[in-house]
Amino acid sequence: MDKLRIKGGSRLEGRVRISGAKNSALPAMAASVLTAEEVTLDNIPLVNDIFTTRRLLRELGVAVEFEGDHSVRLRAEKILSHEAPYDLVKTMRASVLVLGPLLGRTGRARVSLPGGCAIGARPINLHIKGLEKLGATVHTEHGYVEACSDRLKGAEIVFDKITVTGTENLMMAAALADGQTVLQNAACEPEIVDLAEMLKKMGARIQGAGTPTITIHGVQELHGTSHRIIPDRIEAGTFLVAGAMTHGELELIDSNPGHLASVIEKLRETGVNIETAAGRVKILGNGNLKSADVITSEYPGFATDMQAQYMALTTQTTGTSMITENIFENRFMHASELMRMGANIRIDGSRAIITGKTRLSGATVIASDLRASASLVLAALVAEGHTLIDRVYHLDRGYEKIEEKLQSVGAEIERLK
């Protein structure tokens, strides 16, 4: 397994191009199942979850060809299989995103239940409940969800809890249903809006994406399209924290500051200077970071996917910060590894109390999930000496060439194969 070796202490300076959003590209690729015509997606991040999705779609019979720089052509002329197998779903739970499109297009789907994950139980009961509301017959057996329906029928669905992929699955299923569907308490993330924009280009009739109420008028058929994926706001947020922690000067290009408002506001509260312009964000770190509490919540609140990175930052702020994690019940796995590097952190249920500023020292640490691994990279950038991060396959799932991007702005980082 690859490892990353990082020598801390460099001040980061320069420009970083932000890749396309993983959490937008995954549902967009799944949406290709909804039509027999060709779909082209640009600004696709070349990360492992994308390659897992390619494998999954090919299993269903979708032709998937990467071309040029960050583009992919997809064509689901004929669906040859309705099954998302356990072997793939267990490596990437976002595989459940083929459930809605398969059911909408073919009336049949067999998708492995994802099972638990490092950050929480993460059931898909709300996806299933929504599909049943659309008239599907759903049962789970032998670890699989089996769903079928002659044709889905529009309905009113009120989500008990805001769910990102649940909203995406139901939006895709409802696009080919008979009649009108209204999703209430829907997720408002930018990735939902991006998917809706793509579906509308395919002929779907959708209003209200980006608000808690989304209305979908089903159509008989969808056609092909070309779509450019939005920038990755979590990758951009990660680099902003890197700039803040190293007191550096970074300019992020091909990013969308509008999607980062709560992160930018929080970082400004800690004392860093951030300038924004169309498609760009610039951070000028300074030596005196001060503590600030944060509570994770659904968009437009502070993203849970930025919580681990923010925790790394709070180890370098003066004072005590409290982080409250409200989305996932087990998302502090990175804390114990940060403590191995010298951080002063106390976990109390869904709260973490971090006392800073502490001197971090390099150590051998283990990544437990995608964003936890990003926080270890950030801590290593300011730690004394060398840090060795193990299991970086977690990082590769969602960050494109992170060590090359960090090297290009002055970090001493190398991948040990």
Chain residues that interact with ligand EPZ, rule: CB under 6 A: 23, 26, 94, 120-127, 161, 163-166, 304-305, 327-328, 370-371, 398
Nearest residue (CB) to ligand EPZ, 362 versus 398: 398
Which long-range contacts does 89-92 make (Cβ < 8 Å, 24+ apart)?
89/113, 89/114, 90/114, 90/115, 91/52, 92/49, 92/52, 92/53, 92/56, 92/397
How many angstroms separate the CA atoms of 108 and 171, rounded? 17
Contacts 24+ apart (CB under 8 A), 91-96: 91/52, 92/49, 92/52, 92/53, 92/56, 92/397, 93/117, 93/122, 94/23, 94/26, 94/27, 94/49, 94/53, 94/165, 95/52, 95/53, 95/56, 96/124, 96/127, 96/165, 96/169
Task: Give the shortest CB-36-to-ligand EPZ separation in angstroms.
Answer: 25
Q: Which helix (DSSP H) or strand (DSSP E) does residue 102 occupy?
A: helix 99-106
Q: Is 188 a catalytic residue?
A: no
CB-wise, 164 or 360, nearer to ligand EPZ? 164
- Residue tagged active-site, from 17, 81, 117, 121: 117
- Least gap, CB of 116 to ligand EPZ (angstroms): 10
Q: Measured from the CB of residue 25, what is the shortest distance to ligand EPZ in angstroms?
A: 9
Rounded to a whole number of angstroms, the minimum distance from the CB of residue 53 to ligand EPZ is: 10
Choice between 120 and 319, CB closer to ligand EPZ? 120
CB 187 to ligand EPZ: min, Å = 6
Pick 180 or 330: Cβ nearer ligand EPZ: 330
Radius of gyration of the chain (CA): 21
Measured from the CB atom, is 8 or 398 closer to ligand EPZ?
Answer: 398
Q: How many residues does the structure list for the chain?
A: 417
Torsion angle of the four alpha carbons 299, 301, 306, 312, in this order, in degrees rounded to the nearest 10: 180
- Rounded-to-integer distance, Cα 20 and Cα 69, Å: 12
- The distance of closest approach from Cβ of residue 317 to ligand EPZ in the complex, given in angstroms and rounded to an integer, is 23
How far is C-alpha 135 from the chain's CA centre?
30
Q: Which of 356, 254, 264, 269 is nearest to 303 (CA)?
A: 264
User: Which residue lies nearer to ligand EPZ by CB, 94 or 236?
Assistant: 94
Q: How far is CA 351 from CA 210, 232, 311, 322, in A?
A: 29, 27, 11, 7
Catalytic residues: 117
